[in-house]
Amino acid sequence: MRGGLSPGIFKKTSLWFQRAKAALLDQIPCAQGCSHCCRGIFPVTILDRNEIQRGLRALQPTQRRTILQRARAQVKMMERAAPRLARTRFIDHWGDGDVDALAERFADLDCPALQSDGSCGIYPFRPLTCRSMGIPRDVGGIVEGACTIQTAIPLVRLPRSHREEEDRLINEEAEHLAYLRTLDLAQGEELFLPHAFLPDKADDDEATGT
Q: Is the torsion defined by CA of 203, 13, 104, 189 positive or negative?
A: negative
User: For the chain, which residues make up each domain, given as ranges?
Assistant: 9-26+34-199
Q: Average the pLDDT over 38-46 and give the result.
A: 93
Residue with the bigger pLDDT between 152 and 207: it is 152
Tell me what percent of the residues of the chain surpass a pLDDT of 70: 81
Does the pLDDT of residue 58 top 70, yes or no? yes
Whether residue 142 has pLDDT greater than 80: no
Taking 70 as the threshold, does the pLDDT of residue 155 lie above it?
A: no
Task: Please give the average per-residue pLDDT across 116-140, as a whole number.
Answer: 88
pLDDT at 28 over 70: yes
- What average pLDDT does range 175-201 have in this prediction? 86
Query: Quick one: pLDDT at residue 195?
Result: 97
pLDDT at 193 over 60: yes
Point out the least confidently predicted range of 5-14, 105-114, 152-161. 152-161
Mean pLDDT of 177-193: 85
Percent of the chain with pLDDT over 90: 60
pLDDT of residue 186: 67
The mean-pLDDT minimum among 44-48, 152-156, 189-193 falls in: 152-156
Q: Residue 3: is its pLDDT beyond 50?
A: no
Output 33-37 pairs: Cβ under 8 A, ≥24 positions apart. 33/118, 34/118, 34/149, 35/114, 35/118, 35/119, 36/147, 36/148, 36/149, 37/130, 37/133, 37/134, 37/147
Task: State mean pLDDT over 198-206.
Answer: 60
Round the average pLDDT of the chain to a whole number and report it. 86
